[in-house]
Structure 1
Amino acid sequence: MTHERGPYTKSSVRREQILAAATVVFGEVGYASASIREVAQRIGVSHATITFHFPTKAELLAAVLKRQESNFAAMLDAAPAAPMQFLAGVCRLFEHRRSDPRDSEVFLMLAAEAWEPGHPAHAHMVWRYGRLRDTLVAVFTALAEQGLLTPGADPVEAARVGVALTDGLQLQWFYAPREVDVGADLARYFFGLLNVRGGRELEALLRAH
């Protein structure tokens, strides 16, 4: 038995198409230079079709950011309870992004231009960087409590450097995709923070996938 797709389902599909196209456009040219018309052209619809779902460019950006966060919310929420699995998951995430870099592109583009407080994404970026740092602090603290970090490793410092390293590696990857492997370089950073037992646990998780 087949079921016809109702108006709500069709509307949800259209919204997803719009958000996927907007992610690409914002990632390519940033928020300031992007236009709703360009997003519409990417998927072959009218300007009015976009504004029916997202009346303003700021609302479209907010929806893109919310969509991006929803993709990683569960992973971040689970991180403190399963810290080693989180580190392995981060490495695998960037392996996946080698074939689909859209999330990295839009994040780095917006992070670069949203430093100004008046930018629509500024508050979101402040919150997101804070959440990433807090998550990594919780992860490294949990690993230290489990006796898996190297002696003297500071979870707060390790988290701050880890976030900076992630952004920096992604930027280098965009310029030299054949020379930079973000996932592999992050794995080496994590191994440097772990003691022998911790390194073995992370290696086993990475090999299992």
Structure 2
Amino acid sequence: MRSPVGEGRERLLQALFDEFGENGPGANLSMRQVAERLDVHHTLLTYHFGSRAGLLAAVLSEARRRDNLVIAATGPEVGFVPLCRTIWRVYSNAAHRDRTRAFFHLVGLAVYEPDAFEEFVADIDDLARLLEDAALRDGFTPADAKQQSLIAVACMRGLLLQGLLTPDAEIDAAAERFITSLAAPPA
């Protein structure tokens, strides 16, 4: 008896994490090479993920989901600024550099083909929701909490991109300066 489609996809995702880690397969590997490493036929990957970009999007979405669970576990009572610092530490870690490159590559593709990256785009704002909840706990109004969280995520993503483009820039210092500026809710 065949397993349901979603179950097969989940097993493949787990196999991808087991084989390649949270960054997923490197940019230099084709779908056939990835399939060989997983000991499956490449058509199985195409069936479940559609394309190399689709496979990468699924891996990054799952990695982000896992990261967000770790970030959320820092404590349900953590405030907005400490949560921003935690998020920055997770995503600015040098071990995530390849994944950060892949993220921005997929974001660029999604700008041109949003329908092809629907799943990837759908959960891209999970961090903003976590931050919004923290801002509400810190006394921000709902509207201000939403805006503050969007600003924080956009700035951190911009700093991550800047770090990829100009690695010698003092990105961590700029991030800390920005995060510190977010400390108090508007009057």
Q: Would the TM-score normalized by the shorter structure come out above 0.5?
A: yes
Identity across the alignment (%): 20
Deviation at 1:192, TM superposition (A): 0.7
Deviation at 1:47, TM superposition (A): 8.7
Flag the 1:118–1:194 CA change in 2: closer, same or farther, 3 A.
closer
In structure 2, the residue matched to 1:186 is 175
Q: Kindly indicate whether the alpha-carbon contact (under 8 Å) linking 1:22 and 1:64 is maintained by their aligned counterparts in 2.
A: yes
Task: Give the total of aligned pairs.
Answer: 162
Q: Kindly indicate whether the alpha-carbon contact (under 8 Å) linking 2:84 and 2:152 is maintained by their aligned counterparts in 1.
A: no
- Structure 1: any 5+ residue segments left out of the alignment? 1-11, 29-33, 146-152, 196-209
Structure 2 counterpart of 1:186, which letter? Answer: A
Structure 2 counterpart of 1:49, which letter? Answer: V
1:135 aligns with 2:126: no
Structure 2 counterpart of 1:122, which letter? Answer: E
Deviation at 1:178, TM superposition (A): 0.9
**Aligned partner (choices 93, 107, 114) of residue 110 of structure 2:** 114
TM-score normalised to structure 1 length: 0.61
In structure 2, the residue matched to 1:54 is 45
Flag the 1:73–1:132 CA change in 2: closer, same or farther, 3 A.
closer
- Counterparts in 2 of 1:1-209, with a 5 A limit? 16-18=18-20, 22-25=24-27, 35-39=30-34, 45=36, 49=40, 51=42, 54-56=45-47, 57-58=49-50, 60-61=55-56, 63-78=58-73, 80-83=76-79, 84-96=81-93, 98-115=94-111, 116-119=113-116, 121-129=117-125, 131-144=126-139, 154-181=144-171, 183-195=172-184
Q: Distance in 2 between the 1:194 and 1:15 partners?
A: 37
Flag the 1:81–1:113 CA change in 2: closer, same or farther, 3 A.
same
Q: Distance in 2 between the 1:88 and 1:55 partners?
A: 38
The two structures, once aligned, show a CA RMSD in angstroms of 3.4
Q: Kindly indicate whether the alpha-carbon contact (under 8 Å) linking 2:25 and 2:34 is maintained by their aligned counterparts in 1.
A: no
Q: Distance in 2 between the 1:15 and 1:90 partners?
A: 21
